[in-house]
Structure 1
Amino acid sequence: MTQMITALAEISPAYDAVLCDLWGCLHNGMAPFPAAVAALQQFRRNGGKVVLLTNAPRPSRFVIDGLDRMGVPRDAWDLVVSSGDAAQDAMFSGAVGRRVWHLGPPKDEGFFTAVPPEWAAAPPIARVPLAEAEAIVCTGPFEELTEVPEDYRARLLFAKARGLPMLCANPDLVVDMGSARIYCAGALAALYEEMGGAALYFGKPHPPIYDLAMRRLEALGGVAEARVLAIGDGIGTDVAGAAGEGLDVLFITSGLAAAEFGPDPEHPDPKLLARWLVRQMQAPGYAAARLR
């Protein structure tokens, strides 16, 4: 049974590290949540390690730049690991070929240009028109504030007819930017699979991002997996991914699914939450309205 808690401090003595989601937990895409920042700072002051684990399709250096601009203090975290990091590894290894069509906004340029040092000697990746591509690399819609997956049906049908695989750099379906809900690369990949295309995923809930996070955590001194807590608001990404890795998880109810648990996000209805979790076939160890 899922235990409702009010603050991370109630359970933090049982853990040496947390894998914390960003959107919906630490910030809303526009500004950080002060209570969440304070909770992570306190966890670190008590000797814990904080890994910010995000499905952002950009390499972590660009995620860090965004956190800095947003005002998230650096003493709230130790590492940032992104879906973009894991997907970059796959792309530069040649997992989908070396001639690709990039489906994504200009802000994701760094996915191609910021080559990780370990791939500096790899053959280059060429971005080409769809008709010349061996694969699609999807980081999101071109215009994420206005477009929906159906806008791409014709182009995806053409790609599927050519048998192109899609490397999906962000498995999230949607995120909330302030009060606006926008579609992510995962929604485009889901449509492509619905049409019969093949998609490869590297962020939560899939293993590559967790493998990468644990390797980088090991470089900081290592932590037993039984002492790692995942925190997130995505039932199909954060919670399902943690369950797949055998990690304990704290589900944040005020994020993507807040409307399922009653009219007050600060006080989720435990009965509604319990019934909803049964329908989702997930059983996180803990739940809280917010990270604090």
Structure 2
Amino acid sequence: MTRIIESLSQVGTNYDVLFCDLWGCLHNGQQPYLAAVAALQEFRRNGGQVCLMTNAPRPNPYVIAQLDRMGVPRDAWDIVVSSGDAAQDAMFDGAVGRKVWHIGTDKDDGFFNDVPAEWADAPAVTRVPLDEAEGIVCTGPFDERSETPEDYRARLMLAKQRGLKMLCANPDIVVDMGETRIYCAGALAEFYEDLGGTSYYFGKPHAPIYQRARRLMNLGDQARILVVGDGIRTDVKGAMQEGIDCLFVTGGLAAEAFGPDVESPDADLLREWLATHGASPELSIGRLR
């Protein structure tokens, strides 16, 4: 049974490290949540470390630049690990071939153009039209504000018939951009699987992103880690699969399920909803603070 807490400070001393989600927890895609920033700063002042762990499909320098533009202070975190980092490794390793059809926007060009030093000598990965592709790399819809997975049915059916594999750089299904809910790469990858295609995932809840964070932070088996996130299929599921404690932020994607006060989830509604989803986060909170 999950325990509802009022602030991170109630449990912070029980943990050495936070794996903290971004969208819905630290910011809304446009501006930071000031109480969440303050909570992370306090955790670090008390000796903890913070890994901002995001399913953003871009390498972490682009995520850091976005945080800087939003005004998230750098003393609120130690490192940033993105789904784009883990997926980029797989792409340059040839997971879906060297000629790929890219589904995504220009803002994700860095996924292809900024080659990590460890892959500098690898054969080039080039973007080509669908009919020339050996595989697919999906970082999100072409028009994330208006398109749905159904808009891709014909093209993905053709890709499936050709046996192309899809590398999904962001397993999220949806995120909230301010007040607007938009589809992510995960929605397209899931839709492709429904059509009979094959998709590979590298962000939350899948193991590669957690392995990368542990390696970069030099975390041993005894490190006390707390996952903080609002995604039941990503943050909570990933924590459960990794055997890590989780603080579920109810005021994010599923906020409407827990009563009228986003800051104070209704305990009965929350427990019923979690049971329906087969999830058991150790802790829950309305908004990270």
CA-CA distance at 1:224 after TM superposition: 4.1
Contact 1:225 1:247 (C-alpha < 8 Å) held by counterparts: no
Runs of 4+ in structure 1 over 2 Å off? 222-226
Aligned equivalents of 2:61 and 2:220: distance in 1?
23
Are the structure 2 counterparts of residues 118 and 23 from structure 1 closer, same or farther at C-alpha, using a change threshold of 3 Å?
Answer: same
Contact 2:16 2:223 (C-alpha < 8 Å) held by counterparts: no
Aligned equivalents of 2:220 and 2:207: distance in 1?
18
Report matched runs for 1:1-292 at 5 Å. Answer: 1-218=1-218, 222-292=219-289
Aligned equivalents of 1:117 and 1:226: distance in 2?
29
Contact 2:229 2:249 (C-alpha < 8 Å) held by counterparts: yes
Aligned equivalents of 1:191 and 1:78: distance in 2?
35
Aligned equivalents of 1:59 and 1:82: distance in 2?
6
Contact 1:170 1:186 (C-alpha < 8 Å) held by counterparts: yes
Contact 1:262 1:269 (C-alpha < 8 Å) held by counterparts: yes
Contact 1:217 1:223 (C-alpha < 8 Å) held by counterparts: no
Q: Secondary structure at the match of 2:167?
A: strand
Percent of matched pairs sharing the same residue? 65
Paired AA for residue 4 in structure 1 = I
Contact 1:54 1:83 (C-alpha < 8 Å) held by counterparts: yes
Contact 2:172 2:184 (C-alpha < 8 Å) held by counterparts: yes
CA-CA distance at 1:287 after TM superposition: 0.1
Paired AA for residue 230 in structure 1 = V
Aligned equivalents of 2:241 and 2:174: distance in 1?
21
Contact 1:16 1:223 (C-alpha < 8 Å) held by counterparts: no
Contact 2:28 2:178 (C-alpha < 8 Å) held by counterparts: yes
Are the structure 2 counterparts of residues 226 and 3 from structure 1 closer, same or farther at C-alpha, using a change threshold of 3 Å?
Answer: farther
**Count of matched residue positions in the alignment of Structure 1 and Structure 2:** 289
CA-CA distance at 1:86 after TM superposition: 0.2
Aligned equivalents of 1:291 and 1:167: distance in 2?
32
CA-CA distance at 1:225 after TM superposition: 5.0
Aligned equivalents of 1:182 and 1:159: distance in 2?
24
Are the structure 2 counterparts of residues 61 and 101 from structure 1 closer, same or farther at C-alpha, using a change threshold of 3 Å?
Answer: same
Are the structure 2 counterparts of residues 146 and 162 from structure 1 closer, same or farther at C-alpha, using a change threshold of 3 Å?
Answer: same
Aligned equivalents of 1:4 and 1:262: distance in 2?
14
Aligned equivalents of 1:21 and 1:273: distance in 2?
20
CA-CA distance at 1:217 after TM superposition: 1.0
Contact 1:174 1:183 (C-alpha < 8 Å) held by counterparts: yes
Contact 1:173 1:187 (C-alpha < 8 Å) held by counterparts: yes
Aligned equivalents of 1:43 and 1:109: distance in 2?
34
CA-CA distance at 1:96 after TM superposition: 1.1
Are the structure 2 counterparts of residues 16 and 117 from structure 1 closer, same or farther at C-alpha, using a change threshold of 3 Å?
Answer: same
Report the RMSD for the aligned CA atoms in angstroms. Answer: 0.8
- Structure 2 segments unaligned to the other structure (5+ residues): none
Paired AA for residue 289 in structure 1 = G
Q: Secondary structure at the match of 1:175?
A: strand
Aligned equivalents of 2:116 and 2:239: distance in 1?
27
CA-CA distance at 1:60 after TM superposition: 0.4
CA-CA distance at 1:38 after TM superposition: 0.3
Contact 2:264 2:286 (C-alpha < 8 Å) held by counterparts: yes
Aligned equivalents of 1:117 and 1:228: distance in 2?
29
Normalised by the size of structure 2, how large is the TM-score?
Answer: 0.99
